[in-house]
Amino acid sequence: MSPLQLCLVFSSLLFAVGLAGALARSNSILVLLGLELMLTAANLNFIAFWRFGPSASPATGVVFAIFAIAVAAAEAAVGLALIITVYRQQKNIRLPEANRLKG
């Protein structure tokens, strides 16, 4: 198996772990962490293709990964603020209880 395929298998497995965690747990912080794992797995792919694939410019993959990390940081900040807001409203951060908007 070539190194590129090994990298892609690595990121696929990391994505699957994040997906299973986000689906299985009902604590909203753990769901957010599962989402972060999936984003990290996507970043791994950028770097893997930058390292082993043909590219027009040597900096493209790195620049893309940096932007993805910045967007992930923004997402984490807003997500954690939302979790704290939900906790203040109902003293609980379990997702099944956060159903006030349910019709």
Q: 94 forms bridges with which residues in the sheet? A: 27
Distance in angstroms (rounded) separating the CA atoms of residues 2 and 72: 29
For helices 3-24 and 28-52, angle between their N-to-C axes, nearest 10 degrees: 170
Nearer to another protein, 62 or 101 (CB): 62
Interaction with another protein in 19-78: which residues (CB under 8 A)?
A: 19-21, 23-27, 29-30, 32-34, 36-37, 40, 43-44, 47-48, 50-55, 57-59, 61-63, 65-67, 69-78
- Near another protein by CB under 8 A: residue from 42, 85, 97, 100: 85
CB-based contact 18:41 (threshold 8 Å): yes
Sketch the per residue contact string, 2 through 21, with another protein: x for CB under 8 A, - otherwise. xxxxxxxxx-xxxxxxxxxx
